[in-house]
Each structure stands twice: as C-alpha cells, then as structure tokens.
Amino acid sequence: MPSFIMEDKSAGENVIKDELKTIFREHIDGDGKISKHELKKAFKKLGSRLPGWRSRSALKYADTDGDGSISICEIDYLVKYAVSFGYKLQH
C-alpha cells in the first residue's frame, strides 16, 4: 500500500510540474527566453505576494548561463525552484 501512495504523490507532482512549465512557457516572448519582467508576471499569476522579489530569486537559481534570462533549456530549473516553494496552478 505505501508504494501506491508514493506513486500517486509522484504522479501528482508531475502534473504540478507540467502545469508550471506551461505557465512559464506562456511568458516566453519572441526571443525564446523569459526576462525578469516576464518572470515577475508569471509569479504574479501564480499568486506570489512578492512577485518582484520572487522573480529575482528564481532568476538567480535558474539562470545557469548567467545571461539574465531563462532560456527554454533552463526552464526545468525554474520549475524545480517553483515547486520547492509550493507554487502550483490555482484551480
């Protein structure tokens, strides 16, 4: 029985990650990257009380190449960051 619960939790977490990835991808503009401003809008949509601060913190965490934005290659790091703070789509 415990393995079923763990599998269910994992499946639920995958759904959350997919939903977050969709939200963040909506904020990728024509250059294929998410800017700090676009990231702020995404965190505001996710219900952050301090979206400006959260976007700066997320950028520090997920911007692995240091170019000041989140590329499609870095989006998984961004999702990992958001999940670690309990963000999920508000239904």
3-54 pLDDT, tens digit each? 333 334 577 888 999 999 999 999 888 889 999 999 999 999 999 999 999 9
> Taking the chain, what is the end-to-end CA distance rounded to the nearest angstrom?
29
Query: Would you say residue 80 has pLDDT above 80?
Result: yes
- CATH 3.20.20.70 at 2-84, yes or no: no
Q: What is the pLDDT of residue 9?
A: 53
In this structure, the number of other CB atoms found within 10 A of the CB of residue 85 comes to: 12
**Helices 51-62, 36-45: crossing angle, 10 deg rounding:** 120
Q: Distance (Å, rounded) from C-alpha 87 to C-alpha 83?
A: 5
Q: What is the pLDDT of residue 91?
A: 61
Q: Which residues pair with 70 in a beta bridge?
A: 34
| Four-CA torsion 65, 72, 82, 25, nearest 10 degrees | 150
Domain ranges in the chain?
2-84
